[in-house]
A and B are shown apart, each in its own frame.
Chain A
Amino acid sequence: MSIMRGRGFVTIAVAGLVHGVFIASLAPANAGSPMRTSELPTADTHDKNSQNKNVETKIVGSSTVGQFARAVQRRLGAKGRSIIIEPTGTRGGVSLFCSSKDPHFAPVVMASSAMTAEEEAACAANGIGPIETVELGASGVVVIQKHTRRPIDVTNKDLFLALAAETPVSADDCRLTPNWRLTWSDVRADLPNWPIEVYGPPKSSGTRASFIDLALKTGAEAVPCLSDLKKREPSRFLKTYSTINSDGRWIDAGENDSVIVAAISRLPRRLGVTSFPMYKRHENAVSAARIEGEAPCEETIAAGAYPLTRVLRLYAKKTQWLRTKTPADS
């Protein structure tokens, strides 16, 4: 695997290892189905009447974490074939995780951002729990562009001013007006004259949540009057930085990170938001923007110097964890 290079990868490799152990624990001992993960799951998967053999287990959630899961699955070989990894996004995955009591459907959710209080409440309301949290390691959210030798260098504030639906009138006047900026040079004069058009994951995605939390929130805080607002009216501040403009500047490109890479590698002067591993795998097709002057790489992420660094997690239902873990250990 190409990403298994350099010291910085240690973090992620550890995460993958933990994850692998975990997935291995999910695999039934008698796994030997000839079916490959890329093939369609059969209708039997959810059919209670046909659980007699080769039961497939579907795990859902972050596509970012999903890549590690797939790597582990490939290492497992035949044993991994009964596992189906379906990238639904962290938020979507958590939603499925909290609504399914089927031990073979979403017993585990891959998360590229932490569960929110609301999600925990929803899980509890559905009688799901207790929940085991496994921190896999650090990863990054990356702003990508078509491959170039000199990638764009933006600040969190730039990203906020470009993408937020409403922005303050000025640094001191916090009256919010609809975002009037159309090009990056509108945001900051020394940025290129590209249209603001960012392809990113949808609301169901943990990467998106991380991006909002890490980039836009920090960016909003960099505006003096909004920093005041945060102290005075936290909920309004939250709404301000987390409401992404939906008039074509931000384009939801689905949970599938490959789609974003494939699109950005063919769209010059446009930006995309994806996970660090996905960027790393397509380094010759896309380049990563510098954020606050820092380029994303294993070192900057491991050291936490790269601003958009976040922790990847797994959430598992404890009962099922225990139930499925036992035969795997044996």
Chain B
Amino acid sequence: MASDRTPLHTIFRKKYVLGLACLAVLIGASQAVNYVQASRQNGRAALTKLASGQTALSQRIAFFANKIADADNSNDRAVLQSELRDAVDRMREAHDILTQSARGADSGSGSVSGVDQSAFMREIYFNRDAPFDAEVRTFLDAAERLARTDFEVDGSSVLLDEVNLLGMYTIMQTHEVLSRVIAYRTEQSVERAKAVQMALGVLALFVLVLEGVFIFEPTARFIRSNVQRLEASEERALEDAQKAMAANEAKSNFLRMVSHELRTPLNAVIGMSELLDNQSLSEDQRTYVRHIRKAGDHMVKLTEGVLTINRQDVGKLRLEKEDVDLHAELAAVIDQVLPNAEKKHLTLSVREGAKAQGVFVTDVVRFRQIAMNIIENAVKYTDAGAVRVSTDYIAEDGGGVFKVTVSDTGVGVPEDKRDVIFEEFEQAESQSERTKGGVGLGLAVSRRLANALGGDVRLEQTSRKGSVFSFSLLVERGAAHSSDRSINAASASDGARRRDKESTESKRKTILVVDDNLPNRMIAAAFLKNGGYSVLFAENGQEAIDIIDQNKDISMVFMDIEMPVMDGLAATKLIRARGEGGGDTPVVALTAHALPEDAESLKGSGFNEIVRKPATESVILKCAEQFARRSSAA
């Protein structure tokens, strides 16, 4: 398109310049014609005036000559002679100018310039047979002799006859013809100039029409069609965008649905393997069960990763920034990874940067996700040695960068994979990946999240002896100390250890588990029974309401969200609507929403807490411990 536009643009500009030049030339020509015409007119007017003046002067001279001849006394004659001399002088002067003009424009001063009459006047004044110039001078000489002071009446009659004859006929009439012809030619040239002006005007109009037809109209058409094309393509683009958005929406809906649907069976897989792990098993059986559990965990992470990437694609990634103690969060993550590291006898240490102390404003959930991913990876790819985590803070204008560096003594990243490990659905080494349990989408997701928070994830250096990864976030210094938000995560692993103590206290408490999925019900029941609770079941919201109506001693409810007949949201709403009659029964949502922020959306719907599936035994029991009402059973 751009290559098309450039020559077109040039063509139009050239055409415009050409069109304007044509008009300018026409206008210039018109002005020139006017100017030349005007100056010629002036010259002709001057000539006509001179010639007419000569006509009058020749009559005047003849008149005075006759008066002199008739004069009675010398006084009168002297006055008349003076008048005659005067007329002769004037006529001679005018005659000089006229003959100069007749000789042509190159004759210098004294001629009337800018006139094309010289050929005609030359023919009259200087023709071979009877040059008018000579006749005029003969006439003037004769008149001059009559004006002489030594005038003698006797010798004057022939002179007088000559003056009369020439003056009254040839001199006067030739001047008359001269002025007539010049006047006629002036008229002609005015007519011609008019015609030329008219022609120029018509030509200008014609050029305008041509320009209209060949320049302006095509340009307008070009612009019009381009605008139309633009509008059409804009419309198409809009449509495409809408289609793409719809497709994307469909895709993300599909992904969400798939993740959601996957999590329900995963809940069963993980829950059941956890339950099995607590049974007395042979060593082989235990190994199998643990592999099942590990595979389940990995699948859960994959669903989260897929959803996060998709979420960022459709622009729905929601960041919630708050004051966070990032070192506390980092410690919680380390706590979670620590068991894996201990299994491999790895040293896992944290060195907190001096400048990195304090509270920062960022999205804690994302931070945890990134940190978990990077540190988990380091542990995963290191078979011996140490994983060292260090933090630093680099202050910048309007904020700063919180940087976490994770170095390991692992296998390193092969050179040809260093760029692709950050790409989605790429893995460093597919063979080794299988043995390592797979990095999955971890680095790609982490980098996306870090980017969303104004930072990045980098492979700082790598060799066969180890790698250094770092991630950074753009943060602001927080005002207050962080809330104890991290306690949930930090204390989650403690839950199992406290189980024995809790179980004795929670006996006699009845907990209602509402879930349409039988394995999920079984898992929840098994966990709760392990904690010493008695469990009732409902398969949907309606059943749950009925059971609550019949059993006043239900101390709390674990409520699935998506169920047939009546979903968890509606059921909870109904429970809350009861007021005194069990309206304050604690309800904990057990949701298959794969992402934390989706689970958060259930807040404010009447739930006391929201727990994502698959929930571990410790999480379930911790909730039960926290919410199961002791009073109702008592």
Q: Is the CB of A258 within 8 A of B123?
A: yes
Contact flag A95-B123 (CB < 8 Å), given A199-B177, A259-B177: no
Q: Is the CB of A39 within 8 A of B173?
A: no
- Near A by CB (< 8 A), chain B positions 452-489 give none
A79 interface hit (Cβ, 8 Å): no
Q: Is the CB of B158 within 8 A of A99?
A: yes
A43 interface hit (Cβ, 8 Å): yes
Q: Is the CB of B165 within 8 A of A88?
A: yes
Inter-chain contacts of A263 with B (CB < 8 A): 177, 180-181
A194 to chain B, nearest CB (A): 13
Number of residue pairs A-B, CB distance < 8 angstroms: 107
**Distance, CA A7 to CA B277, complexed state (A):** 154
A134 to chain B, nearest CB (A): 21
Inter-chain contacts of B157 with A (CB < 8 A): 99
CB-contact partner of A100 in B138, B158, B174, B178, under 8 A = B158
Q: Is the CB of A258 within 8 A of B130?
A: yes
A102 interface hit (Cβ, 8 Å): yes
Q: Is the CB of A67 within 8 A of B173?
A: no
B169 interface hit (Cβ, 8 Å): yes
CB-contact partner of A95 in B165, B176, B177, under 8 A = B165
A248 to chain B, nearest CB (A): 10
Inter-chain contacts of B184 with A (CB < 8 A): 266-267
Closest to A47 in B: B155
A221 interface hit (Cβ, 8 Å): no
**Distance, CA A48 to CA B131, complexed state (A):** 27
**Distance, CA A48 to CA B159, complexed state (A):** 14
CB-contact partner of B145 in A38, A43, A257, under 8 A = A43
Inter-chain contacts of B131 with A (CB < 8 A): 38
A92 to chain B, nearest CB (A): 4
The secondary structure that dominates the B interface is helix
**Distance, CA A27 to CA B166, complexed state (A):** 25
B346 to chain A, nearest CB (A): 122
Inter-chain contacts of B173 with A (CB < 8 A): 202, 251-254
CB-contact partner of A63 in B120, B130, B176, B181, under 8 A = B130
- Near B by CB (< 8 A), chain A positions 235-254 give 251-254
A217 interface hit (Cβ, 8 Å): no
Q: Is the CB of A95 within 8 A of B161?
A: yes
Inter-chain contacts of B169 with A (CB < 8 A): 88-89, 92, 202-204, 252, 254-255
A206 interface hit (Cβ, 8 Å): no
Chain A interface residue count, CB cutoff 8 Å, equals: 40
- Interface centre among A99, A100, A202, A266, by most chain B C-beta atoms within 10 angstroms, is A266
Contact flag A46-B155 (CB < 8 Å), given A92-B165, A259-B177: yes
B134 interface hit (Cβ, 8 Å): yes
A87 interface hit (Cβ, 8 Å): yes
B291 to chain A, nearest CB (A): 123
Q: Mark A40-76, 1 if CB is under 8 A from B, else 0.
A: 1101001010000000000000010011001000000
- Near A by CB (< 8 A), chain B positions 148-184 give 155, 157-159, 161-162, 165-166, 169-174, 176-178, 180-181, 184
Q: Is the CB of A256 within 8 A of B180?
A: no
CB-contact partner of A39 in B124, B134, B161, under 8 A = B134
Q: Is the CB of B181 within 8 A of A40?
A: no
Inter-chain contacts of B134 with A (CB < 8 A): 38-40
Contact flag A96-B130 (CB < 8 Å), given A86-B138, A199-B177: no
A105 interface hit (Cβ, 8 Å): yes
Closest to A43 in B: B145
Q: Is the CB of B123 within 8 A of A105?
A: no
The 10 closest A-B pairs by CB, nearest first: A254-B173, A254-B170, A254-B174, A262-B123, A202-B169, A258-B127, A255-B170, A92-B165, A252-B173, A253-B177
Binding site for A on B (CB under 8 A): 120, 123-124, 127, 129-132, 134-135, 137-138, 141, 145, 155, 157-159, 161-162, 165-166, 169-174, 176-178, 180-181, 184-185
**17 residue pairs A–B, Cβ–Cβ below 8 Å:** A40-B141, A66-B130, A88-B166, A89-B169, A96-B162, A96-B165, A99-B157, A251-B176, A253-B176, A254-B170, A256-B130, A256-B170, A262-B120, A262-B124, A262-B127, A266-B181, A266-B185
Known: A38-B134, A262-B123. 4 other contacts (CB 8 A): A40-B137, A43-B145, A89-B165, A257-B130
